[in-house]
Amino acid sequence: MTQTPTCAWHPDRETWVSCSRCGAPICPNCMNQAPVGFHCPNCIAEGKRTVRQIKNRTTPVTTTIIGICVAAFLASFVFPDLWLDYGVAGVAIFEWGEYYRLVTAMFLHGGIVHIAFNMLILHQLGTQLELFLGSKKFALIYFVAGIAGSFASATFNDAYTVSVGASGAIFGLMGAYFVVAKSIRFDTSYIVGMIGLNLVIGFIVPNIDWHAHLGGLLAGAAMAGVIHKVFPSWG
């Protein structure tokens, strides 16, 4: 015989409705309308606490990265060989020992569409993640993912193919966003859709370095998982 669930706050009240965030059964008096379904009193209180914590925080890392990328893009009009001198290429990394390219390539872009698209996603995801994680953890994820993406590009592309862009690091933010969202029981359909769409575009559109995308994605997710292991509450 199936037992009818009761409200977690009012055990004498039967209900078949549960919190869309934590799954706790809730009665009509405990329901709080959410974008998807209803939230329980605890999740509402937790949400208000989080909002209070981040209200006065800023996103200096995201802002600085965007500023450097834009400055480097403008400088490329004056120094057109920047991408050759500082982009990722297997021969430069593994034969010439120019390991700095693993980092510098993250700040260079090949055209206005390239930088505009990357900076838009960086602003959207970076702002949210930096506010939630704090600047130090966010920067760690971003640069680990970016370097991993550059390394994957240098390893799996032709040795003389030069690759530039923040895409590896940005895919790392997507992976981290997914891990964070899962850990706090947040709807992941948005980020899964974004990851899937951008991976497909990378696979089918010519001259897109999907090796960097995939390397950054996996590294960002793994780094977020490590941080969550050390700081279970993300604090």
Residue 10: active-site member: no
Distance CA 234, CA 142 (A): 16
CA distances, 6 to each of 2, 40, 43, 111, 185 (Å): 12, 13, 18, 58, 21
Contact at 8 Å (CB) between 223 and 172?
A: yes
Could you tell me where the beta strands, DSSP code E, fall in the chain? 32-33, 38-39
Amino acid in position 131? L
Candidates 224, 201, 200, 199; CA nearest to 213 is: 199
One of 39, 163, 167, 228 is an active-site residue; which one? 167
User: Coil, strand, or helix at residue 39?
Assistant: strand
One of 109, 211, 213, 228 is an active-site residue; which one? 213
Residue 228: active-site member: no
CA distances, 61 to each of 57, 71, 103, 122, 154 (Å): 12, 15, 15, 11, 26
The residues annotated as belonging to the active site are: 167, 213
